A = this chain, B = another copy of it.
Amino acid sequence: MKKQTKHTVTTKSALSENKGVEAPSTINPKAFIKKKEIAIETYVSEIKKGNRVYLSKAITLIESTNCKHQQKANAILKKCIAFTKKNTVRIGITGVPGVGKSTFIEVFGTYLTTLNKKVAVLAVDPSSSVTKGSILGDKTRMEELVRNKNAFIRPSPSGSSLGGVARKTRETIMLCEAAGFDTIIIETVGVGQSETVVHSMVDFFLLLKLAGAGDQLQGIKRGIIEMADAIVINKADGENISQTKLAKIEFKRALQMYPHKISGWIPKVSTCSALHNTDIDAVWKIIQSYLKLTQANTHFKDRRASQNKFWLLQTIEDQLKINFYSKPLVAKQLISLTKKVEIGSISPFDAAAILLEL
């Protein structure tokens, strides 16, 4: 509260400095007229050209909670699907905080651009709206990549629900591919459910690990290991090298205990040092052999098809909820019925039936 007051004061004094005491009345009313809206066609044609400014603006529309913005975003997406790049690779990267995700993506992304790849880096992190961006929020952590003309970095959209953040990211992938980006990296923190969501939108899922106790103490979620197409042990440098080698053997052994993947792919374990930029190419080689295998046995295509289907159903279900809860009658009754349900005077199932009857 105090902060806000202070802010208001600053603004006022700034105004008076520039415009004098009578500032508000002397402001030209035309200045308040809205900026001319950019036409959908302009967005589409600029994105098609790979214009990153328009790509950013369109993503902002996707991320907006304003209904008109969303309609516009949908219209843009619809037109972009016609020329979206086909031979793209979507790579999910997860790992607990401290494993070196940002450094790895900085180095890995830069390496890919030297191979003439156009790299887009996105993030799924529903917590970032609270913590003000724990991943990708601080773009300075990828100083080199952010200035690279063949790379595009976008922090996680804010949003309280993982579903909402995920949908926005999924739509952003489509736009990036329409803008000519062929390698999409999606970063997420390996806690909670966000890694499952990221897994549902990528072709290849990479788990970054550390050797030694630091990482193991935080617990390996069985589910994450099951999803991983590769485990890359980072920080294989200096005194850490021998420990990393041991960890590699251990992870290989551990992976053998997991069921075979339907893709026929056997998950690989690799080591690298993002900090010293060593063995980064090995990671890309693993991904390439994965692509070779899964494009030959149609798993790549099948996985994308089933992901598309998943997103169809997900979108329907999200929208059904939004439509239902935004009905004024429902919104009103929901409050009183929720109270009754909470104290147990009506069963949740009964209350649901009443609301659905409306």
Which A residues have a C-beta under 8 Å from some C-beta of B? 74, 77-78, 81, 170-171, 174, 191-192, 217-223, 225, 254, 257, 304-306, 308-309, 311-312, 314-317, 319-321, 323-324, 337-338, 341-344, 346-353, 355-356
Contacts and interface: CB of A to CB of B under 8 A. Distances in A.
Contact of A324 (B314, B316, B342, B351): B316
Q: Give the interface centre of A174, A309, A316, A341 by most chain B CB atoms within 10 Å.
A: A316
Given A174-B347, A219-B222, A309-B348, 19 more contacts: A74-B353, A77-B350, A81-B346, A192-B223, A217-B254, A217-B257, A218-B222, A219-B219, A219-B220, A221-B223, A305-B342, A308-B348, A312-B337, A312-B338, A312-B341, A314-B348, A316-B355, A316-B356, A317-B320
A75 to B, nearest CB: 10
Contacts of A317: 317, 320-321
Tell me how many chains of this kind the complex includes. 2
12 contacts: A78-B350, A81-B344, A81-B350, A171-B349, A217-B254, A308-B342, A309-B348, A316-B355, A319-B352, A319-B356, A320-B321, A320-B324
Which 10 residue pairs across A and B have the least CB separation, nearest first? A305-B342, A315-B352, A311-B348, A219-B222, A312-B348, A320-B320, A308-B341, A316-B352, A312-B341, A81-B347
B222 A352 contact: no
Contacts of A81: 344, 346-347, 350
A170 to B, nearest CB: 8
A311 B351 CA distance: 10
B74 A349 contact: yes
B257 A343 contact: no
